[in-house]
Structure 1
Amino acid sequence: MTTQQQPMPADTGTTQAGRTSPDPRSDGTVITGRSPARMAWRRIRRDKVTLAAFVITVLFILIALLAPVLTAITGWGPIAPDGKAIDPDTGNFPRGALGGVSLTHLLGVEPGTGYDLFARIVYGLRTSLFVGFASAVLSTVVGVVAGLAAGYSGGWVDSVLSRVMDVMLAFPQLLFIIALTPVIQNAMQTNSHGGTDENLRLLVLVLNIAVFAWAYTARLVRGQVLSLREREFVDAARIMSAGRWHILFRQLLPNLWAPVLISFALAVPQNITTEAALSYLGVGVIPPNPDWGALLSDASQFFLQDPMYLFVPGVLLLMLVLALNLLGDGVRDALDPRAARG
């Protein structure tokens, strides 16, 4: 009597030891899972506009970091005047065409002072990026902590913090910073010459912008926490006697990185614009620190005689803010789970 040989079972990717291995495709490739961060980065790379904005943003950051090297190559610093580049007979306007553009001064010089415009712009970029990123980091940290506390605690804590958020959101930010700056300036220490220390003014400017910006992040985080605190993993942590701090910073906070990152990315260009507006109005960065807003304010007086003085910093500020805004929009689209997959 012959026995029929049973067919061998199809290979399901299980090894003899009982362990499962990745299921290969017919062409030999192995299917691997992707983390949310890798999926978001993949979508950003496929978006040409966002990728271009990312490249431009990185380029601006590198220029700001390498400002001492770049100005050393040209031989002119941000507060080193060149008296030979301006003509006293024409009211100290730059010699030559296009605002004094030459091999020595790549973007010309400032009318009246003879400062190298390239050095002023490069160092002014450092000022704008420092204020924009520092105030965004500070407002994001405060907003995340306040949003976590309000959303998780509930009760009177949520009521008080929510009312504070409403009040902060109702303030006209620019007007109140303009009004508060002279008051804070009078209370600040003065330097040996009787004036306000320029570095301390930068710190106060960062604090002023952050004070009026944290409520946006806090409101966003609070709404997310109100939803997350009812999830099963939070209940499981409570059952296992996890403390409040563990639940807040080990369970809830890791699930908030996407909206927090989006909020931060959108806050940076807004803070840079606010800083430039304050400096343009004369209540922002003070000399000798160079700043694009102050450059635009000074250049507006010489527009008819030296249009390059206004055109160059104006176009660069537009490019920086536009690139940061487009990058923030791209990050939001890449991290939003409801967005259409590319």
Structure 2
Amino acid sequence: MRAGAALLVLLLLAVALGPLVLPAPEALDLAARYAPPSWEHPLGTDELGRDLAARLLHGGRVSLAVAAVTAVLAAIIGTGIGLLAGFHGGWADAVLMRLTDGVMALPLLPLLIVLAAADPARLGLDPELAASEGFAVARLAVIIGCVGWTTVARLVRASALSLRSRDYVRAAVVAGASPGRIMRRHILPNIASPVVVSTTISVGHIILIESALSFLGLGIRPPLASWGNMLTGAMDVVWSTPALAVWPGAAILLTVLAFNLLGDGLQKRLDPKLVSTST
């Protein structure tokens, strides 16, 4: 856990502070195309003479923003559906879990490709808004989040089924507490730990999905940088200038590794059964 947290802190500091001291990521210098690393350009430049380090860190901001927003959105949707299904049971449980099974049965990557390929401008949105950085991040987060909540939903449902038979929940029912209050005050706080762990681990998976969509040209699109579309730009020169592919690939690898290590550590800390078993 400490290794994952330390690595994640270093990545976040680099992404947050790096662009403040590096050249603008969109600054072009055609005379310095594919320049090797130097004091001015620590990691060299790309095919348009843009600083590779600046684009890598700016792309990290975008990729991490998409992952964080998507993970939170998926956790909210999954927690709501799982909590309703597990607490109420009966027909509500059957309907919501069949919905969950249906979403899980969908082919994920083809579905995401179809949803991401839709042009927002043709839906009546302002072209300037559709081309903005914030809209691109929000759009991709909504697309992935709307199909990425199923794991959290099943986890929350299982926990809610177990908790609703506890004595303190039965006492609240006898006392006349409403279902909403019981779920909010007695069940939700006790399922927060597994939700946090699941959400943390899912961030790494979401980064891989975002990178895959951006690599296919259906996620974050140039000139806005992300690690996925940086890999796309490096395809044609991967043998002559491998650094253009190595650095964004290494950033994806380290970020996914950091979140997975952090999630595993949180699971061991927050799951008393796992701790007691290991001891």
Same fold (TM over 0.5): yes
1:79 is matched with which residue? Answer: 26
Q: Which moved more, 1:132-141 or 1:175-184?
A: 175-184
SS state at 1:109 partner: coil
1:150 is matched with which residue? Answer: 85
* 2:41 paired with 1:105: yes
SS state at 2:272 partner: coil
* Superposition CA RMSD, Å: 1.7
Following TM superposition, by how much is the alpha carbon of 1:72 offset from its aligned partner in structure 2, in angstroms? 3.6
Q: For 1:152-204, what per-residue CA distance to the aligned partner results, in whole angstroms no more than 9, with x for missing partners?
A: 11121111101100001111222101012223533262425x97444322211
1:261 is matched with which residue? Answer: 196
2:148 is matched with which residue? Answer: 213
Which sections of structure 2, spanning at least 5 residues, go unmatched?
Answer: none
SS state at 1:159 partner: helix
Task: In structure 2, give the amino acid aligned to 1:83.
Answer: L
The 1:223–1:184 alpha-carbon spacing in structure 2 relative to 1, beyond 3 Å, is farther
1:138 is matched with which residue? Answer: 73
Distance, in Å, in 1 between the alignment partners of 2:7 and 2:110 is 31
2:8 is matched with which residue? Answer: 57
Q: For 1:237-285, what per-residue CA distance to the aligned partner results, in whole angstroms no more than 9, with x for missing partners?
A: 1121111111000000111011111111111101111000100011000
Following TM superposition, by how much is the alpha carbon of 1:211 offset from its aligned partner in structure 2, in angstroms? 0.5
Q: For 1:224-243, what per-residue CA distance to the aligned partner results, in whole angstroms no more than 9, with x for missing partners?
A: 11111011000111121111
Q: For 1:85-128, what per-residue CA distance to the aligned partner results, in whole angstroms no more than 9, with x for missing partners?
A: 12xxxxxxx24xxxx211000110002x1111011001000011
Q: TM-score, normalised by structure 1?
A: 0.77
Aligned residues: 276
Distance, in Å, in 1 between the alignment partners of 2:38 and 2:182 is 61
Distance, in Å, in 2 between the alignment partners of 1:273 and 1:217 is 18
Distance, in Å, in 1 between the alignment partners of 2:111 and 2:173 is 43
Q: TM-score, normalised by structure 2?
A: 0.94
Alignment of 1:11-90 (within 5 A): 50-66=1-17, 70-74=18-22, 76-86=23-33
1:275 is matched with which residue? Answer: 210
1:290 is matched with which residue? Answer: 225
Contact 2:222–2:229 (CA<8 Å) still a contact in 1? Answer: no
Task: In structure 2, give the amino acid aligned to 1:247.
Answer: I
Contact 1:151–1:223 (CA<8 Å) still a contact in 2? Answer: yes
Following TM superposition, by how much is the alpha carbon of 1:65 offset from its aligned partner in structure 2, in angstroms? 2.4
Distance, in Å, in 1 between the alignment partners of 2:174 and 2:184 is 17
Distance, in Å, in 2 between the alignment partners of 1:77 and 1:203 is 23
The 1:203–1:188 alpha-carbon spacing in structure 2 relative to 1, beyond 3 Å, is farther
Distance, in Å, in 1 between the alignment partners of 2:62 and 2:3 is 23
SS state at 1:135 partner: helix
Distance, in Å, in 2 between the alignment partners of 1:325 and 1:156 is 36
Percent of aligned positions that are identical: 37
- Greater relative CO (CA pairs within 8 A, separation 6+): 2
Distance, in Å, in 2 between the alignment partners of 1:195 and 1:201 is 7
Which sections of structure 1, spanning at least 5 residues, go unmatched?
Answer: 1-49, 87-93
Contact 1:150–1:157 (CA<8 Å) still a contact in 2? Answer: yes
1:187 is matched with which residue? Answer: 123
